[in-house]
Amino acid sequence: MKAIVITTPGDPEVLQLQEVEDPQIKDDEVLIRVEATALNRADTVQRKGSYPTPKGASPYPGLECSGTIESVGKNVSRWKVGDQVCALLSGGGYAEKVAVPAGQVLSVPPGISLKDAASFPEVACTVWSTIFMTSRLSAGETLLIHGGSSGIGTFAIQIAKYRGSRVFVTAGNEVKLAFCKGIGADVGINYKTEDFVARVKEETGGQGVDVILDCMGASYYQKNLESLNFDGRLFIIGFQGGVSTEFDLRPLVGKRLTVQGAGLRNRSPENKAFIINEVEKNVWPAIAEGKVKPVVYKTFPLSQAAEGHRLMESNQHIGKILLFP
């Protein structure tokens, strides 16, 4: 098969389409012929050499895909050859075929094309496992999403609104903020021209938000604590603003705050299967109802993966970028 190989850590041009061995499936896995894969920020970090693949995972990038099942392991009962599915991967999505544990596979949601289904697994599992399963965001609470126009952001806006929350987002320009409002965000904050702490306080009568989904890390840490309401929860999923900082602990104690963090890729197959099951029960119905829609900004052929990475790193996109083998 053909796959995108990271020939050496570096800039996007190190991504090269090469002929490689087909993956071999284990007894509890399925082999998917890939229809589409989606880019994630983690792929760009892996390309630079800073995000090693988990033990036993495919060396090729790609954390999600959609496609058709070509073969099934002998212990797999739910899936059969020919099923149209999407899947959460530990790697290997930038290829024509990928082996994946059966517990990380989902049926394509009703009304969604096979290609567009590739835009859902990583964002759905990330958002559901963080702000819902862990931070327990509930109806009537307020959520602040940093990077509201990202793939995770555009998904989080829609599912949080579906479940009855008031949604605030930050983004870097008015076009992105307008898009976020168009899919349900209540308050848009331009982080380049506004102080998001002041705006959050103004919009909440001085109280702050209940939950924050943060991709920035160190650079926003203190401001995030200041933006939270009593009993607020900060969930960190990325470090685009650095990994270490000095901060004032008093808001943490004074407001009974909780700081949480998690990644998805290095979780056990059992843990991923549990998250997939929760996503199927809680998120897939919202997609089937048309309340959560795929947000696909641009598509590229697999051979142009480097162009996809350049677009992602330019931060010009809104939503997801897909690759088609």
- The three-state secondary structure class of 212 is strand
Structure tokens at 243: 């990994």
Separation CA 182–CA 136 (nearest Å): 25
* Range 8-16, long-range pairs (CB < 8 A, 24+ positions): 9/47, 9/48, 9/49, 9/50, 10/47, 10/48, 10/49, 12/47, 12/305, 12/306, 12/307, 12/309, 12/310, 12/313, 13/306, 14/47, 14/306, 15/47, 15/61, 15/94, 15/305, 15/306, 15/309
Q: Where in the chain is the domain with CATH 3.40.50.720?
A: 135-261
- State the pLDDT at residue 301: 98
- State the pLDDT at residue 211: 98
What CATH superfamily is the domain 2-121+265-323? Answer: Medium-chain alcohol dehydrogenases, catalytic domain (3.90.180.10)
CA distances from 59 to 49, 98, 178 (A): 12, 11, 38
The residue-averaged pLDDT of 65-87 equals: 98
Which pLDDT band holds residue 212 (cuts at 50, 70, 90)? Answer: very high
pLDDT in tens, 77-116: 999 999 999 999 999 999 999 999 999 999 999 999 999 9
Contact indicator for 241, 218 with CB cutoff of 8 Å: yes
The residue-averaged pLDDT of 19-38 equals: 98
* Exposed/middle/buried for residue 18 (C-beta within 10 Å: 0-12, 13-18, 19+): exposed
Which pLDDT band holds residue 75 (cuts at 50, 70, 90)? Answer: very high
- State the pLDDT at residue 270: 97
Structure tokens at 160: 């949080």
Q: Where in the chain is the domain with CATH 3.90.180.10?
A: 2-121+265-323
The residue-averaged pLDDT of 284-311 equals: 98
CA distances from 213 to 19, 216, 259 (A): 39, 9, 11
pLDDT in tens, 301-320: 999 999 999 999 999 999 99
- State the pLDDT at residue 131: 97
- Return the beta strands (E) in 150-306 as ranges: 166-171, 187-190, 209-214, 228-236, 258-261, 296-301
Q: What H or E segment, with its residue span, contains residue 99?
A: strand 97-101
Q: What are the residues whose beta carbons fall under 8 Å from the beta carbon of 69, sequence distance 6 or more?
A: 30, 31, 32, 33, 79, 80, 81, 82, 83, 85, 105
- State the pLDDT at residue 28: 98
- State the pLDDT at residue 227: 98
Amino acid, single-letter form, for residue 39: L
- State the pLDDT at residue 237: 97
The residue-averaged pLDDT of 6-12 equals: 98
CATH architecture of the domain with range 135-261? 3-Layer(aba) Sandwich (3.40)
- State the pLDDT at residue 73: 98
